[in-house]
Homo-oligomer: A and B are copies of this chain.
Amino acid sequence: MKIENAKAQMRKGVLEYCILSVLSDHDAYASDIINKLKEAKMIVVEGTLYPLLTRLKNSELLGYRWEESSQGPPRKYYEITEKGKEFLNELDDSWKELVDAVAFIRNYEQRTD
């Protein structure tokens, strides 16, 4: 369905912004992050999240540590780095500019209706 495809395209670039946001609040492991995003109605699956976390870690925007779990296998807790925080600020600016641009275009269109 074409709108689903458009939604996926709109998520490109925004997901890393959201993940860095979630982690700037507190450290988390993958399942935590998925649940936090789900609360915001940003539905992300593991197949998307793990490669993205790896990419962010490789870019030194995130770090991680292993922690034992009282049940099940050990968990990989991710944390944002200083570099990640700086990048998050830049993403914040970019996102706001984009939202403003879209609002300008949409409001301009509706004003002339």
List residues of chain A with CB under 8 Å of any chain B CB. Answer: 2-3, 6-14, 16-18, 21-22, 24-26, 36-37, 39-42, 59, 87, 90-92, 94-95, 97-102, 104-106, 108-109, 112-113
Number of copies: 2
- The one of B10, B16, B104 in contact with A14, judged by C-beta atoms closer than 8 angstroms, is B10
Do B18 and A94 have beta carbons less than 8 Å apart?
A: no
B-chain residues with CB within 8 Å of residue A36 when the two chains form the complex: 105, 108
Do A37 and B105 have beta carbons less than 8 Å apart?
A: yes
Interface centre among A8, A21, A40, A59 (most CB of B within 10 A): A40
Do A91 and B3 have beta carbons less than 8 Å apart?
A: yes
Do A42 and B90 have beta carbons less than 8 Å apart?
A: no
